[in-house]
Amino acid sequence: MTVTAGKVVVVTVEFFRTMRYRQRHQVESNRTPRYRVRYQLDGQPTREAVVGPNPRQGLVWRIRESRRGDTVEVLLSEDGKSILDWTNKTHDELLEDFDGTFGESD
C-alpha cells in the first residue's frame, strides 16, 4: 500500500464501465460501476487511478467533495492503480471544530 499526501491542485472523477455485456466464464461482473479519478497534488505529477468495483461506502463522495487547496491523504493499492481510501484532512478538521447543530431550529 502506498500513501500519498499533499494539497489538491486538480481532481476529476468520471464514471465508466469496462464492457457492455457479460462474457462466458467471466468471474467479475463487467457492469459493475467504476470511477476513473485524475488528480494532482502540490508538487507532484498528475496521476490516474480507478475506484474499484466495490468501493468503501462514501469513497467517491469524499473524492468529489475535495476542492483546490484541500489537504488530502490518498491510500493506493500495491500497484498504484486503485484508490483504497481518500481522506480529506481539511474537511475533517472543519467538522471537528464545528460546535453548532445541523438542521435544528429554535
Q: pLDDT, tens digit, for every residue of 9-67?
A: 999 999 987 666 666 666 665 567 789 999 999 999 999 999 987 788 899 999 999 99
Contact 46, 10 (CB under 8 A): yes
Whether 42 maps to a domain, the answer reads: yes
pLDDT value at residue 69: 94
Query: Does the residue 26 lie in any domain?
Result: no
C-alpha distances (whole Å) from 55 to each of 12, 23, 24, 52, 58 are: 17, 23, 25, 6, 8
> Does the residue 51 lie in any domain?
yes
Q: List the CATH number of the domain containing 52.
A: 2.40.50
Report yes or no on 105 lying in a domain: no
Q: What is the domain extent for residue 69?
A: 2-17+31-97
